[in-house]
């Protein structure tokens, strides 16, 4: 059976806003610093925003008009208070730690080598057309080793021409450091992952900092969001093989449990591929009418289920299915889900976390890109090719 509703009960922070940079590469923010050089007779710096510029977005970064490397930046507001921020790792710009205030004049003191300048700019008024986004993580929570960082955009999403500007403002830091990159599944969803599954115990610091950033079509990012999360110290993986019709639970490389299963029948096959547990529902109701098949029809249903883990947006789950006990391990009879016994479903449900990988092989149909968190269902090279940068 499958349930198509896309609302999540877990692991989601509602209606956050857009984001800041990617970690592990030249777009990551790095601590600013360096002592200011002594004044010299060299030509003064030309910075951006330009001196006396008005209507500046509150997402503005301080940079050099000629694209050179900065040494140090100090930004103060109209009351003389210093604004916190830091230089990017490549020293190309200085990034405020939070969006600037609307309708405010700021003073910039910038140095680059032996050159220095002082300038001012004034930010724009608060725009009316702002774009929301949400991140499918919750503050302080712990996730499985395959948990991608998933951002979903509202109000039409982000068109291809605007993705680079948005991606540059999606910041991720991992401890221990692991190279990662963003991949655009569509206008409305972008996913971030490292080359391999996260290392056990990884700490993630995420800044979705597009507050005030122009995002296309006259819209601006709504707010910044700062979030921290962790990756579990144990490596869990569920492996499902259609040839044997068995599901295996592996932890830190060791098999803990194996259960017979029934997968999707020929007319509604389960997907093969590497998926990620999106949500866990101890009790829910599967209703075929949510995807256009009346519950009263020959192929319809409305059934209460237990111990369900969502794998796709289109409605494929692992779940307990006592009505198919006689078929499990023998034949496929489900509408695309992985059916397991009550006892097996309970054990799997209590063992898993959101973010654990589920690898299914040998079925008639492959997992479509973007149907769920599909970041791991492609090679690293193909994943990187989906970055706008």
Note whether 117 and 110 are within 8 A (CB): yes
Q: Between β-strands 180-184 and 93-96, what pairing exists: parallel, antiparallel or unpaired?
A: unpaired
Catalytic residue among 23, 183, 319, 335: 319
Catalytic residue among 23, 183, 335, 337: 337
From the number of C-beta atoms within 10 Å of its C-beta (0-12, 13-18, 19+), residue 71 rates as: buried
d(CA 270, CA 252): 26
Tokens of 238: 């569920």
* 289 alpha-carbon distance from chain centroid: 30
CB-based contacts of 365, cutoff 8 Å, min separation 6: 269, 270, 271, 272
Q: Which of 125, 106, 94, 112 is nearest to 32 (CA)?
A: 94
Tokens of 357: 């990988």
Backbone angles phi, psi at 34, to 5 degrees: 90, 140
Peptide bond into 170 cis (omega under 30): no
Q: By three-state DSSP, how is residue 140 classified?
A: coil
CB-based contacts of 297, cutoff 8 Å, min separation 6: 288
Q: Which of 150, 177, 165, 174 is nearest to 376 (CA)?
A: 150
Catalytic site residue 23? no
Q: Which of 151, 179, 188, 198 is nearest to 20 (CA)?
A: 151
Note whether 85 and 95 are within 8 A (CB): yes
Tokens of 70: 């900065």
Long-range pairs for 320-323 at CB < 8 Å and ≥24 separation? 320/344, 320/345, 320/346, 320/349, 321/1, 321/262, 321/345
Alpha helices, DSSP H, located in 50-207: 163-167
Direct distance between the N- and C-terminal alpha carbons of the chain, in angstroms, rounded to an integer:
40
For the chain, give the number of residues: 389
Active site residues: 319, 337
């Amino acid at each position: 059976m499958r349930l198509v509703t896309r609302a999540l009960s877990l692991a989601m922070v509602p209606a956050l806003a857009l984001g800041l940079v990617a970690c592990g590469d030249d777009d990551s923010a790095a601590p600013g610093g360096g002592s200011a050089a002594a004044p010299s007779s060299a030509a003064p710096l030309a910075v951006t925003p330009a001196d006396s510029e008005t209507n500046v977005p509150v997402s503005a970064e301080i940079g050099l008009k000629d694209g050179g490397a900065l040494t140090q930046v100090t930004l103060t507001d109209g009351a003389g208070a210093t604004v916190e921020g830091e230089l990017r790792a490549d020293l190309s710009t200085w990034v405020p730690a939070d969006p600037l205030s609307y309708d405010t004049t700021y003073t910039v003191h910038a140095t680059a080598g032996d050159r220095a300048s002082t300038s001012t700019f004034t930010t724009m008024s608060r725009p009316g057309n702002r774009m929301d986004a949400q991140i499918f993580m919750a503050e302080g929570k712990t996730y499985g080793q395959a948990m991608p960082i998933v951002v979903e955009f509202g109000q039409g999403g982000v068109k291809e021409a605007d993705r680079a500007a948005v991606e540059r403002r999606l910041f991720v830091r991992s401890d221990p450091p692991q190279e990662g990159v963003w991949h655009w599944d569509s206008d409305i969803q972008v996913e971030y992952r490292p080359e391999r599954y996260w290392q056990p115990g990884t700490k993630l610091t995420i800044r979705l900092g597009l507050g005030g950033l122009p995002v296309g079509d006259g819209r601006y990012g709504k707010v910044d969001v700062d979030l921290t999360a962790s990756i579990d110290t144990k490596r869990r993986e569920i492996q499902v093989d259609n040839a044997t019709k068995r599901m295996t639970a592996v932890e830190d490389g060791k098999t803990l449990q194996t259960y017979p299963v029934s997968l999707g029948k020929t007319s509604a096959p389960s997907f093969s591929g590497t998926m990620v547990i999106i949500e866990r529902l101890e009790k829910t109701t599967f209703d075929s009418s949510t995807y256009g098949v009346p519950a009263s029809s020959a192929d319809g249903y409305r059934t209460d289920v237990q111990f369900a883990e969502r794998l796709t947006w289109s409605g494929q789950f692992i779940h307990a299915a006592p009505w198919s006990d006689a078929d499990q391990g023998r034949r496929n009879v489900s509408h695309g889900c992985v059916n397991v016994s009550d006892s097996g479903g309970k054990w799997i449900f209590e063992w898993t976390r959101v973010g654990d990988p589920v690898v299914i092989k040998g079925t008639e149909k492959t997992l479509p890109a973007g149907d769920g968190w599909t970041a791991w269902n492609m090679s690293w090279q193909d994943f990187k090719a989906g970055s706008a940068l």
